[in-house]
């Protein structure tokens, strides 16, 4: 559970770090969150207070599909611990539409973790994570949430809530 919350937080931090990458992205400023060249890989090394490597995060743009109304950006996200062992890997799709960057909260879930529940019924409800293309200081972002109810037959085994609310 802590790992999933960490990964959601890391994804948000990585998203916010892209905001200045492309200042001249044309009319759709939402593209400023990601480099638009397929194959581009961004690597982030995370250090502790003693300058020791704790983890590495990699985001690779695998596909960009543009239409008149939106842009779909497919990204492979990988994280590794300080020993280089992979701790997270997932393909995530971001959509730039209506001057918003949108991502499904469900897509941020670790696919390896969800594989453990493949023979169990999972019901998910969610609101998208949305980030405006024109962020400003003090701006309030829309809340985003996801609920996963895991059950077998008629018995609820577990319920997980993920919320991205401002404090």
**165 vs 56, more confident:** 56
Please report, rounded to a whole number, the percentage of residues in the chain having pLDDT higher than 70. 73
d(CA 30, CA 22): 10
pLDDT at 97 over 70: yes
Residues 6+ apart with CB under 8 A from 45: 53, 55, 56
Query: Which residues neighbour 17 within 8 Å (Cβ) at sequence distance 6 or greater?
Result: 44
Q: How confident is the model at residue 30 (pLDDT cuts 50, 70, 90)?
A: low
Statement: residue 69 has pLDDT above 60: yes
Which value, in Å, is the radius of gyration of the alpha carbons in the chain?
A: 17
Q: Per-residue confidence at 159, pLDDT binned at 50, 70, 90?
A: confident
Neighbouring C-alpha atoms within 13 Å toward the C-beta of 55? 13
Q: Tell me the mean pLDDT in the region 77-88.
A: 92
The predicted pLDDT at position 15 comes to 53
Residue range 65-90: mean pLDDT, rounded: 90
Q: What is the pLDDT of residues 146-156, one digit of tens each?
A: 787 878 777 87
d(CA 96, CA 70): 6
DSSP string, 75-136: EEEEEEETTS-EEEEEEEEEEEETTEEEE-TGGGS-HHHHHTTTTSEEEEEE--EEEESS--
Which residue did the predictor score with more confidence, 105 or 88?
Answer: 88
Q: Whole-angstrom Cα distance, residue 59 to residue 78?
A: 7
Lowest mean pLDDT among 77-81, 133-137, 162-166: 162-166
What is d(CA 37, CA 56) in angstroms, rounded to the nearest whole number?
A: 22
Q: Please state whether the predicted TM-score (pTM) of the whole model is above 0.85.
A: no
pLDDT score for 111: 66
Q: Residue written as tokens 């492979």? A: 76
């Amino acid at each position: 559970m802590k790992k999933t919350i960490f990964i959601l937080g890391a994804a948000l931090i990585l998203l916010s770090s892209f905001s200045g990458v492309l200042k001249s992205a044309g009319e759709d400023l939402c593209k400023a969150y990601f480099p638009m060249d397929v194959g581009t890989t961004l690597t982030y090394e995370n250090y502790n207070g003693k300058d020791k490597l704790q983890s590495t995060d990699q985001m690779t743009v695998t596909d960009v599909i543009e239409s008149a109304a939106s842009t779909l950006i497919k990204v492979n996200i990988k994280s590794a611990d300080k020993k280089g062992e992979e701790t997270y890997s997932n393909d995530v799709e971001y959509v730039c539409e209506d001057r918003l960057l949108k991502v499904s909260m469900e897509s941020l879930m670790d696919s390896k973790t969800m594989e453990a529940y493949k023979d169990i019924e999972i019901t998910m409800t969610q609101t998208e994570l949305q980030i405006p293309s024109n962020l400003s200081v003090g701006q309030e972002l829309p809340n985003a949430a996801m609920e996963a109810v895991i059950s077998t037959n008629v018995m609820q085994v577990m319920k997980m809530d993920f919320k991205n609310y401002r404090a």
